Structure 1
Amino acid sequence: MRNRLQEQRGAAAVEFAMIIPLLLILVLGIAEFGHAFQVQGTLSAAAREGARVMALQNDPAAARTAVRNAAPTLDPAITNAQIAVTPAACPMTSTGTTNVRVTIEYPMPFLTDFFGVSIELSGTGVMRCSG
C-alpha cells in the first residue's frame, strides 16, 4: 500500500513537470499580448493627436511634437523618423476635401525575448485639413 502511494506521488510530479512549460508559455503569451494591445492603443491615440494638430496648425514639426508628447510612456520613445505626415502641408485654399494622414511605425520590443526581439506596430490618424 505504501509503495503504491509513493508511485502515485512520483507520477504527479512527472505530469506537473510535463505541463509547466505549456503553462509558462501561455502566461508569457498573455503578458506579451496585453503589452502589445496597450502599445497599439497608445500609437493610435498619438497618431490621431498628430493628425489633429497638423490639420489645425498646418505644421509638420508641431504634429511630430504632438505625437511624441501623446506617447510619453513608450520605451523606447518615438522618434521623428518613425512619424510620417502626408501631405507635408495642407493646401491654403479649400477647393476640396484634403485629408492629412499621420502614420507611426514603431518596433515594439517584447517584454521577454522568448517570442523574439520585437514586433512592428503602427498607428494611423486621419483628419480633414482646416478642421
Structure 2
Amino acid sequence: MAVEFAILLPVLLLLVLGIMEFGRAFHVQTTLSNAARDSVRVMALQDNATAARSTAKASAHGLPLTDAMISVTPTTCTPDAAAPGMASVTISYPFSPVSGFLPIDDLTLTGKGTMRCFG
C-alpha cells in the first residue's frame, strides 16, 4: 500500500499543480479581456487614450499593469459620422507560474477589445 502511494503521489501532486497553474492562467486571461473591453469602451466614447489606460489598470484588479503593456490604437478617434473609425486596446501581460515546477517560462497572455468610435 505504501509503495503504490509513493509511486502515485508525484503524479497526483503534478496534476494538482497543473490544475492550479492553468486555472490561474485562465483567471488572468479573463481579467485581461475584461480590462481591455472596459478600456476600449472609455477610448471609444471619451476619445482619451490616457483615460483608457487608467481604466485598464483599475479594471485589472491584482495585476500590476504598466502603460507599456497597454496599446491603444488609434490614439484619437475620428469624429466623422459617415465613416467612424474603430478603437482597439490590446493588453499584453507576461505570465509566470507560481509553483515553478511546470515548464511554462515565456508565456504572454493578451486581452483585446475593439469598439466603434463614438458608437
Same fold by TM (over 0.5)?
A: yes
Paired residue secondary structure (1:19): helix
The one-letter amino acid of 2:29's match is Q
Deviation of 1:95 after TM superposition, in Å, equals 2.7
The match for 1:121 is 109
The Cα offsets for residues 109-129 of structure 1, whole Å up to 9 and x where unpaired, read as: 212111244521000011110
The partner residue of 2:3 within 14, 18, 21 is 14
> Which of the numbers 38, 53, 64 marks the counterpart of 1:49?
38
Distance 1:28 1:46 in 2: 27
RMSD of the alignment, in Å?
1.2
- Written as runs of structure 1 = structure 2, the 5 A alignment for 1:19-34 is 19-34=8-23
Structure 2: which 5+ residue stretches go unaligned? none
Per-residue Cα deviation, 1:29-78 (whole angstroms, up to 9, x for no partner): 0001111111111100000011000001111111000000101222xx01
Normalised by the size of structure 1, how large is the TM-score? 0.85
In the TM superposition, what is the alpha-carbon distance from 1:16 to its structure 2 partner?
1.2
* Partner residue in 2 for 1:90: 77
* Aligned AA (2:75): A
Greater CA deviation, 38-47 or 109-118? 109-118
Partners of 2:96 and 2:106 within 8 A in 1: yes
Other-structure match for 1:103: 90
2:89 counterpart SS class = strand
Higher gyration radius (CA): 1
Match of 1:80 among 67, 73, 79: 67
State the aligned residue count.
118
CA distance in 1, matches of 2:66, 2:82: 34
1:112 to 88, 99, 105: 99
Unpaired stretches in structure 1, ≥5 consecutive residues: 1-11
